[in-house]
Chain A
Amino acid sequence: MKLIQATKSRLVFQLGQREELLLLRVLSLYPCVPPAHRQLSKGGRLPEPEANQRLLDEALAEHRADNKKQLQALLADQRRFTHMETGAQLSLSPAQVDWVLQVLNDVRVGSWVQLGSPEELAVGLNEKTSPHVRAMEMAGYFQAQFLEALGGGT
């Protein structure tokens, strides 16, 4: 995947056929982070901690539902990808790139959580771990490409 055109309002990426399939596959894994993973405070010295934690949980659940809807719309939108013989072009606004980054990072972090939140990311592969390791690495691959595109544009 590479950035082939960048303006203030639009970023166009060239993807190979396999890359397009992989990107769609990784995005379809959203959401991955378990809701109980998020905590508002470590120290727990906030007033009304349970009510405030519930507010956070509700806000994140709503955000997740919105993201899921947007994602379904993106995956269903045939015009998002322009198909060519060698692959596809993906056209996104900078705000959409930011949003795709959020979704990809949820998949990356969620996969890491599924692996037991290891300090070392080089996890041994077996039947149980390999789907999560693959999802984490693929999400990371696309994140790096999108981040590079954003960094180059600022």
Chain B
Amino acid sequence: MAATATPEIQPGVIQTTEDKSKSGLEPGYLVICWNDPVNFMDYVTHVFQVVFGWPRKKAEFHMLQVHEQGKSVLARESMEKAEHYVHQLQKYSLHATMERDE
């Protein structure tokens, strides 16, 4: 991911919500964003805020995960919702996919 500015957050201190729904019995689909060298870090943060309605710090946390670990699981949802999010992220030209949560 290309840098435009240095984020000011500390990774690891943000509570994410995707684990909460894992206890459900329905098969879930993971919405994953993958790293690439071309999307700006600030742009990815902006897109996460717009698509998921997240506060900036949470969006930056996931952006940094993408940047440092190669991917970030952004949500675990029903198939329809996961599809919706992937469509939204791809409209912004992010490298996002959905994968079945085994």
Q: How large is the interface on B (under 10, 10 to 19, 20 to 34, 35 or more residues)?
A: 20 to 34
The answer to whether A109 touches B50 (Cβ under 8 A) is no
Q: Is B18 located at the chain interface by the 8 A CB criterion?
A: no
Q: Is A40 located at the chain interface by the 8 A CB criterion?
A: yes
Q: How large is the interface on A (under 10, 10 to 19, 20 to 34, 35 or more residues)?
A: 35 or more
The answer to whether B92 touches A105 (Cβ under 8 A) is yes
List, in ascending order, chain B residues with CB within 8 A of A105's CB: 39, 43, 92-93
The answer to whether A42 touches B43 (Cβ under 8 A) is no
A150 and B83 alpha carbons, distance in the complex (Å): 28
Which residues of B come within 8 Å of A, CB atoms?
2, 4-5, 29, 32, 34, 36-40, 42-43, 46, 50, 56, 79, 83, 86-87, 90-93, 97-100
Which residues of A come within 8 Å of B, CB atoms?
33, 38-43, 45-47, 52, 55-56, 59-60, 63, 98, 101-102, 105-106, 108-110, 112, 117-121, 136, 140, 143-144, 147-148, 150-151, 154
Known: A39-B97, A102-B91, A140-B40. 13 other contacts (CB 8 A): A33-B93, A60-B91, A63-B91, A108-B39, A109-B38, A109-B39, A109-B93, A112-B38, A119-B37, A121-B2, A136-B38, A147-B4, A150-B46
